[in-house]
Structure 1
Amino acid sequence: MSEAKLQRQARAVAALWRLLAGRRLGTLWCLARLAGPLVHRFSRREREVTEINLAEVFPERDAAERRRLARASLTHSTATMLELGFAWMAPPERVEASILAVHGRELLDEARASGQGVIVLAPHFGNWEVLNFWLSGHFPFTAMYEPPKISDLDPVIRGGRERMGASLVPTNPRGVAALLKALKRAEAVGILPDQEPDWGSGVFAPFYGRLAYTATLLPKLVARTQARVVTGVALRVPGRGFAIHFLPADARVHDPDEAIAAAGVNASVEAAIALEPAQYQWEYKRYRKVIEEQQGHPDHGSFRLY
């Protein structure tokens, strides 16, 4: 794609975000409810991966119930995309007013009062951009950031994520060093724990009873800093706003064995998902690396679609 075409595309996307930023959350949720079933019907990749994952993690549910959950999940994922402009560009007082409750804040306060850094384990659940907004407005907060493929959108996204004071660092060794420094200053950092890492950057650990290749960045940071780990999500209250929940992380995240710690990370993600499974972004291929390991074996089961 030519540079001029990419620039036009970036301007159109940014204009759409600005337009959506001015809409009420109730309007955005209505749009998501209209578009979500279309995403489920016509976006084959998202539908198949979501349904495959749900079949693996909820085998006790019947097929009709899982299909309903898949449609609901894709509706919530659509809502998150529609809410990006709101989280990044709406007046801060509007975004703050949309946060209807904050549960478990004492977990963060206790960790900071003890002089320890805090790692907020933030799965792709609800609206994680609203969680970033709240965290960066209340604590010194650092998070990793990978620039978008359309480079002209970088200042828009970066500006939205940094506007409340967040410090964004690159997804490379320099960024990891910045996270370590922030934790040693007893500050908060955010880690997205459910994206599949590159080979060599993770271990296999159970996720809903099935092995998934899981990043070891969080266990490494804990080992180096003795930071406290808290799970954080911004659960959507459809059409009204968000309820932020901070939950104790599984105790295993502090284990010196990275495989055990990674199992604790995944268990912490599961505990967050339990708040409302439809709000988790099931479109991630969490089990892909296992399949790559199993190539040539006959027991891939339903994951052949991956």
Structure 2
Amino acid sequence: MTPQGANNARRFSKASAISWLWRQLSRWPLARLWRISSALGPLVYRFNKRERWVTDRNLAIVYPDLSIAERKTLGQHSLRHSTATMLELGHAWMAEPNKVETSILAVHGRDKLDNARTEGRGVIVLAPHFGNWEVLNFWLSSHFPFTAMYEPPKITALDPVIRHGRERMGASLVPTNPRGVAALLKALKRSEAIGILPDQEPDWGSGVFAPFFGREAYTATLLPKLVARTQARVVTGVALRIPGKGFEIHFLDADERVYSDDDVQSATGVNASVESAIALEPAQYQWEYKRYRKVVQEQQNLANFRDYRLY
């Protein structure tokens, strides 16, 4: 077997094991998954240096007024929720639809989507990495024509598993390229709903720097282009975890600046909208993501960039 063939075999074996685990966990009650998360979360915080360091660094930037002990506690709670999200992927993607629907205990703000569609306008849902965003995808695609961008996973053998899980209730997944953007525009012009991840750093040239909790963060500029061409309404959507019981869906009005035709103002509104969602329960945000990886000094290629590194 060639080295490439051996590599592919290992990836397929790993993907099969992960898929099998998700399938098994999909049969377990959420209360049990939360108990496991509560046991594993502190271990992840203690032994996964990368996750702990990035989480602690982000929390120090975002919540400078908290004591070190308070930030440590918040970081531990955050990694517990992130662990729960990973364990709940089988629930969102593979459990019986009725079981997933029943786990959604309440939906707040649905009228924001219904009213927009009644007016003949599409809805852009900003879905940050908060709570269980896969449960949010399940609910949206169960109740509305829904389109979202999708980038295949690094383990390519998992692609059909994840794609099936996200599409099984009718969601349409489109690539993260100009063809995908065109599909989003068409969906909005049909007065449908689309989902955008507002808190991932885009590639250079696809974003601007805008404040996120007072610190400049490189933020995508796709939103104002979609709004300008479709007059869509923008809301923030999250699936807040009620530990051991289920989830509550919240749709919040986006910050009005998202409608600006100025990219920086619109990006500022996007980040402010994410901040409002995080305020529901900061521990449920995925703080281990390097949101401040790109900084102004990196773009300008300053010789003393090293002095500004955050991670």
Which range, TM-score by smaller chain? over 0.9
Using the TM superposition, give the Cα deviation of residue 220 of structure 1 relative to its aligned residue in structure 2, in angstroms: 1.3
Using the TM superposition, give the Cα deviation of residue 4 of structure 1 relative to its aligned residue in structure 2, in angstroms: 1.0
Aligned residue number for residue 106 of structure 2: 101
Distance 1:188 1:284 in 2: 26
**1:297 corresponds to which letter in structure 2?**
N
Alignment of 1:146-165 (within 5 A): 146-165=151-170
- Gaps in structure 2 of 5+ consecutive residues: 1-5
Aligned residue number for residue 58 of structure 2: 53
Alignment of 1:1-306 (within 5 A): 2-290=7-295, 292-293=298-299, 296-297=303-304, 300=307, 303-304=309-310, 306=311
C-alpha distance after superposition, 1:267-290 (max 9, x if no partner): 000000000000000111111110
**1:76 corresponds to which letter in structure 2?**
H
State the identity as a percent.
71
Q: Secondary structure at the match of 2:199?
A: coil
Aligned-residue Cα RMSD (Å) equals 1.2
Using the TM superposition, give the Cα deviation of residue 149 of structure 1 relative to its aligned residue in structure 2, in angstroms: 1.3
Using the TM superposition, give the Cα deviation of residue 295 of structure 1 relative to its aligned residue in structure 2, in angstroms: 5.2
Using the TM superposition, give the Cα deviation of residue 3 of structure 1 relative to its aligned residue in structure 2, in angstroms: 1.1
The answer to which of 286-295 and 247-256 deviates more is 286-295
**2:187 corresponds to which letter in structure 1?**
A
C-alpha distance after superposition, 1:146-166 (max 9, x if no partner): 111111111110000000000
Using the TM superposition, give the Cα deviation of residue 300 of structure 1 relative to its aligned residue in structure 2, in angstroms: 4.1
Q: Please identify runs of 4+ aligned residues in structure 1 that moved more than 2 A.
A: 291-301
Using the TM superposition, give the Cα deviation of residue 298 of structure 1 relative to its aligned residue in structure 2, in angstroms: 7.1
Distance 1:59 1:216 in 2: 28
Q: Secondary structure at the match of 2:152?
A: coil
- Gaps in structure 1 of 5+ consecutive residues: none
Contact 2:298 2:305 in 1 (8 A): no
**1:142 corresponds to which letter in structure 2?**
T
**Gap change, CA 1:298 and 1:18, over 3 Å in 2:** closer
Distance 2:307 2:194 in 1: 37
**Gap change, CA 1:39 and 1:295, over 3 Å in 2:** farther
> TM-score scaled by structure 1?
0.97
Q: Secondary structure at the match of 1:196?
A: coil
**Gap change, CA 1:107 and 1:4, over 3 Å in 2:** same
> TM-score scaled by structure 2?
0.95
Distance 1:285 1:257 in 2: 25
Using the TM superposition, give the Cα deviation of residue 217 of structure 1 relative to its aligned residue in structure 2, in angstroms: 1.0
Distance 1:151 1:58 in 2: 37
Using the TM superposition, give the Cα deviation of residue 299 of structure 1 relative to its aligned residue in structure 2, in angstroms: 8.3
